[in-house]
Amino acid sequence: MEGATVRNIAKEAGLSLGALRHYFSTQEELLIYAMDLVKNQAEQRIYRVIDRKLPPKEMALNMLLELLPTTEETRAEMEVWFSFVAYARHKRAGVHPYEDGLFDGITRMVHSLNKAGYLRDGIDLDAEAERLYALIDGLALHALLAPDRLNQTRLSEIVGNHLDSIWQETPQKD
Amino acid sequence: MEGATVRNIAKEAGLSLGALRHYFSTQEELLIYAMDLVKNQAEQRIYRVIDRKLPPKEMALNMLLELLPTTEETRAEMEVWFSFVAYARHKRAGVHPYEDGLFDGITRMVHSLNKAGYLRDGIDLDAEAERLYALIDGLALHALLAPDRLNQTRLSEIVGNHLDSIWQETPQKD
DNA sequence: GGTTTTATAATACAACTGTATTATAAAATT
DNA sequence: AATTTTATAATACAGTTGTATTATAAAACC
């Protein structure tokens, strides 16, 4: 975040200070724009997974994997996001990266999977959503810090294990 | 992190710039000192839990809870730690908060619990350590961002659920 | 008691920061 | 064609930053 000065951004974009200022009159506008960009890209990746109409468990796994840094692009995105989260804790009023709707989304997914009978009986749905949400963000953070240890294969393994542990393998009806 | 200027720190400590500089000649020394302080305090809390000689599952639960922000003090500590992690990604050479030994510690704990027969048969120990590690750091992050939703009781519930899910309830020998 | 070390303070400095101002081109519009 | 809008650039400004310098008390030491 320290490097995200308006001068650095202008330089990297090949613009002068004045030119950049023509599009973004304050630094905060720039930050909010970058934040929304990352958020929208992640959302679109998720929608694309949904459109693939995979079997439920594969779909859940692939949706969750889109929230983890597995490619150079998503790694960059999530590094930006992570910086924003840390930055927004004590700063600017307009930057709210943790209102990302992720907790709501995962909660809805868990409830929906359960309603369709894919999850084990007797589990606390909200607690499971909280656990899954924490697992995902924790893995995302660790994958950023140790990308070699947590490559795509490994991440898929871990999340897959987790899904297996809450999944109802024998369907209720057939 | 932006507020951690040498002037702010001196003011909060009731010292002049020169006086603070007498103890810490550069800002980096200050940061590293603060980092080590937080790390050592967390370590000591863990050792204190071990000394209580609780039953294995309670001990594991309480050790893990010491890694989460449940009190005003630990919340402050982990906010510092979190800021360091974000800060160190692209900055100062001497600041390495993610070499915290936590992954090794959790891995050792999981292997040790398994060797003592407390964990379910057939689980992938390293993958379980990775999953638990991510769960803890994810919960820590989320508890910082939403302390009302994730209070001590709720955190204990979630981590307890997780331990239950990998625990071998019927002992191998009796 | 004299001297060295430790502690504190005030001030200075060069670099960097976000933002503002001013000046020009180029493009679009009328 | 004239004029307005859009785009770019250079420079300026006030504030903050980390660090350095200098001065002066207090304490420790010999």
**Is the pLDDT confidence value at B21 over 90?**
yes
Q: What is the pLDDT of residue B93?
A: 66
CB B125 within 8 A of CB A121: no
**Is the pLDDT confidence value at B171 over 60?**
no
The beta-carbon neighbor of A131 closest among B130, B135, B145 is: B135
CB atoms B141 and A141 under 8 Å: yes
Distances (CA, A) of B151 to A47, A99, B71, B155: 33, 19, 9, 6
Query: Does residue B174 lie in a domain region?
Result: no
Quote the Cα angle for B132-B138-B139, to 5°.
Answer: 90
Convert the pLDDT of each residue in A125-147 to its tens digit.
Answer: 999 999 999 999 999 999 999 99
**Mean pLDDT of the region A89-112:** 85
Give me the number of domains chain B comprises. Answer: 1
CB A8 within 8 A of CB A72: no
Q: Where are the alpha helices (DSSP H) in chain B?
A: 6-13, 17-23, 27-51, 56-65, 72-88, 102-115, 125-145, 152-166
**Mean pLDDT of the region B145-170:** 96
Contacts of B142 in chain A (CB under 8 A): 103, 130, 133-134, 137
Q: How many residues would you count in chain B?
A: 174
Q: What is the pLDDT of residue B13?
A: 92
Sign of torsion over alpha carbons B142, B145, B146, B150? positive
Query: Does residue A107 lie in a domain region?
Result: yes
Contacts of B128 in chain A (CB under 8 A): 161
Q: What is the pLDDT of residue B107?
A: 98
**How far from chain centre, in Å, is Cα A87?**
17
CB B120 within 8 A of CB B167: yes
Quote the Cα angle for B62-B111-B120, to 5°.
Answer: 85
A89 contact partners, CB below 8 Å, separation of at least 6: B79, B82, B83, B144
Contacts of A144 in chain B (CB under 8 A): 89
**Average of per-residue pLDDT values in chain A:** 93
CB atoms A158 and B130 under 8 Å: yes
Query: Does residue A48 lie in a domain region?
Result: yes
The beta-carbon neighbor of A83 closest among B86, B134, B157 is: B86
**Is the pLDDT confidence value at A174 over 50?**
no
What domain range is B139 assigned to? 36-166
> pLDDT band at residue A96, thresholds of 50, 70 and 90?
confident
Query: Does residue A172 lie in a domain region?
Result: no
Characterize B80-103 residue by residue with b for buried, 16 or more Cβ atoms within 10 angstroms of its Cβ, and e for exposed.
bbbbbbbbbbebeeebebbebebb
Higher pLDDT residue, B173 or B120? B120
Query: Does residue A68 lie in a domain region?
Result: yes
Query: Does residue B151 lie in a domain region?
Result: yes
Q: What is the pLDDT of residue A98?
A: 77
Residue spans of beta strands (DSSP E) within A29-135: none
> pLDDT band at residue A92, thresholds of 50, 70 and 90?
low
Convert the pLDDT of each residue in A35-87 to its tens digit.
Answer: 999 999 999 999 999 999 999 999 999 999 999 999 999 999 999 999 899 88
CB B68 within 8 A of CB B146: no
> pLDDT band at residue A93, thresholds of 50, 70 and 90?
low
CA A159/CA A138 separation, integer angstroms:
11
CB atoms A3 and B154 under 8 Å: no
A85 contact partners, CB below 8 Å, separation of at least 6: A97, A98, B86, B141, B145
Higher pLDDT residue, A139 or B98? A139
Residue A96 maps to which CATH number?
1.10.357.10
Q: How many CB atoms lie within 10 A of CB B1?
A: 20
CB atoms A141 and B138 under 8 Å: yes
Convert the pLDDT of each residue in A109-126 to its tens digit.
Answer: 999 999 999 999 999 999
The enclosing H or E element of A161 equals: helix A152-166
Chain A positions with Cβ closer than 8 Å to B: 1-3, 79, 82-83, 85-87, 89-91, 98, 103, 124, 127-128, 130-131, 133-139, 141-142, 144-146, 150, 154, 157-158, 161-162, 165
Nearest chain B CA: its distance from A4 CA (Å)? 11
Query: Does residue B129 lie in a domain region?
Result: yes
Higher pLDDT residue, A53 or B89? A53
> pLDDT band at residue A14, thresholds of 50, 70 and 90?
very high
CB A136 within 8 A of CB A66: no
Contacts of B145 in chain A (CB under 8 A): 85, 98
**Is the pLDDT confidence value at B174 over 60?**
no
SS3 for B167?
strand
The enclosing H or E element of A104 equals: helix A102-115
> pLDDT band at residue B121, thresholds of 50, 70 and 90?
very high
Convert the pLDDT of each residue in B29-85 to its tens digit.
Answer: 999 999 999 999 999 999 999 999 999 999 999 999 999 999 999 999 999 999 899
CA B60/CA B41 separation, integer angstroms:
18
CB atoms A82 and B83 under 8 Å: no
The beta-carbon neighbor of B162 closest among A86, A131, A141 is: A131
Q: Which residue has the tokens 């001497």?
A: B94
Quote the Cα angle for A82-A88-A90, to 5°.
Answer: 130
